Amino acid sequence: MGAAIGGEVGAPASDPMRPDARATLTAMLAAIVRMTGAATAVLRVAADEPARLELTAAIGLPDGPLPRTSGTMALFCSACPEVGHSDSDCVRAGLCGRDDRFATDLAGWACKHMVAVPLRSEGRSVGALNLRFPVPGAFADSMLPVLAAAADLVAAAIEHERRAREILQTSLTNERQMMANEVHDSLAQGLTYMRMRMSLLRDAVRQGDHVRAFKYWSDVDLSITNAHRRLRELITYFRSRMDPQGLLHALQEMSEGFLDRTGVALVFENRVPDLDLPVGREVQVFHIVQEALANVCRHANARRAQLTLDRKDAGYEIVVEDDGIGMASDAAAGERGDAGHYGIAIMRERARRLGGELTLESAAGTGTRVRLYFPAMESQTQAGL
């Protein structure tokens, strides 16, 4: 008895069924064949297109590729002993070889040689299982409930595969978004800083101030070195590396060099010296703070800023505030796509991953206040992100 499995049954190139899932379904189909004594079995799974079933696994069909133009019933009927008999009920009724004559919700004998079993999961059709017997009526009707139970297991496996594909697609989408966030946080900020430094370097060169020119050149050179290192980390690890000494050390180090890098005096007030977060959460918090401070440098035209880390209710509160010019309401809402404001949307997305929220308060001439609040305990949903 031949077997056609996976792509060898003519599955289209776009078929998303994973090879391991297809192998599992084929093994289940083989077990049903042994249980029922069927000569041939075909499993068809619901495709994206309404009312269309894709041939997914088969037992007892000829080996080798099968043309996509061949209907499932045609494959069955070509092996049926009655196909060449003009007095056959199937041949006379025009049933032989016609997929459209077999309802997918039929449960029982479709013709003398074939049993059709619908596959349903949570009230939704997910496919159909067809068995062909060499002898008419070889499968006792009393065994139909047993076959139906086996079909339920097949339907559950199909539904599990569908959900696994959805989860995989969601995971890929999230990974792409994370990559975009990491590129923004790791590279875009550095490029903005270098552009600002290059402007100062140009002015120093024009003024003949060699001391300032050398300092700005050193700043740009160091920023290029750091950007190159972060790019290599992104390529290697798909994310920028967190300070191995933890979030508090990273924030302290960032605040100590902030005035020299940006010209803005930054005060870091840490009221949670024993802060201890999982590395994944530390990365999210660090990048939110990093982006908030980058916005102070790029847009606020501020002279002073303050970073405060504190406990709040059952979680933590981080506030970044400055004495700058403030920002427009649409920019604070993250609705504009011009430079810098994509970062606000990314900050809010990171806050959601923490199970928290990000708020911005700003008015013209009064500075900007960015507040991040997130719970101390990480939920199961967040842990799976």
| Model pLDDT for residues 101-150, shown as the tens digit of each residue | 555 555 677 777 888 888 888 888 888 888 888 888 777 878 888 888 98
Please report the pLDDT score of residue 8 as a whole number. Answer: 35
- Same domain for 54 and 163, yes or no, is yes
Q: What share of the chain is helix, strand, coil (3-state, %, to 5)?
A: 50, 20, 30
Task: Please check whether residue 195 lies inside any domain of the structure.
Answer: no
b/e per residue, 103-116, with b = 16+ CB within 10 A? ebeeeebbbbbbbb
Residue 278: burial class (beta carbons within 10 Å; 0-12, 13-18, 19+)? exposed
Shared-domain flag, residues 40 and 159: yes
Percent of the chain with pLDDT over 70: 75
User: Taking the mean position of all CA atoms in its chain, how far away is CA 290?
Assistant: 25
Determine, yes or no, domain membership for 285.
yes
pLDDT at 365 over 80: no
Q: Do 288 and 385 lie in a common domain?
A: yes
- Work out how many domains the chain is built from and give that number: 2
Residue 149's domain spans which residues?
Answer: 3-167
With respect to residue 252, please indicate whether it lies within any of the assigned structural domains: yes
- Domain final residue, candidates 136, 167, 198: 167
Rounded Cα distance, 17 and 3, in Å: 18
Residue 7 pLDDT exceeds 50: no
**192 found inside a domain:** no
Q: CATH number for the domain including 155?
A: 3.30.450.40
In the numeric block, the tokens 């449960």 are attached to 107
pLDDT tens digits for range 44-81? 888 765 456 777 888 887 665 544 444 666 667 776 77
3-state secondary structure of 260: helix
- pLDDT band for 3, please (50, 70, 90 cuts): very low
Q: Which residues, in sequence order, are CB contacts of 100 under 8 Å at separation 6+?
A: none
